[in-house]
Amino acid sequence: MMYPYGEHVSGWGYALGITGMVLFWVVLVLAIAIAVRYLDRKRGESSPPPPPPPPPTAEQVLAERFARGEIDADEYRQRLDTLRQAGRSAAAGAR
């Protein structure tokens, strides 16, 4: 093949060839890395979300209200006794 300056490639031809090859491999490696990250992210999104935490029990809600100062100690004890008696009677009725 005939080149403009004879039968051989000049210094600029070698420089452009090397630069072109390096850019080709850099683009190829980046494309593979981006594809792997994209596919891995898609696989992670397909997993189901974690289950929501269970709702607080009536005793926990009562204890939180007492801790916030919404009810006093006497009312807390009275309501706690009422909750526990209701729980015992429901358990006895289920037997």
Find tokens 């792997």 and name the residue: 36
Q: Is residue 38 part of a domain?
A: yes
Residues 35 and 72 in one domain: no
Q: Where are the alpha helices (DSSP H) in the chain?
A: 11-45, 58-68, 73-94
Q: Is residue 19 part of a domain?
A: yes
Residues 6 or more apart in contact with residue 63 via CB below 8 angstroms: 76
Residue 1 pLDDT class (50, 70, 90 cuts):
low
pLDDT tens track for 38-76: 888 877 666 677 899 999 999 999 999 999 999 999 999
Residues 41 and 66 in one domain: no
Portion of the chain with pLDDT greater than 90, in percent: 57
Residues 75 and 43 in one domain: no
Residues 62 and 85 in one domain: yes
Quick count: other Cβ atoms within 10 Å of Cβ 92? 8
**Residue (of 67, 56, 61, 57) closest to 87 by Cα position:** 57
Q: Which domain holds residue 36?
A: 1-47
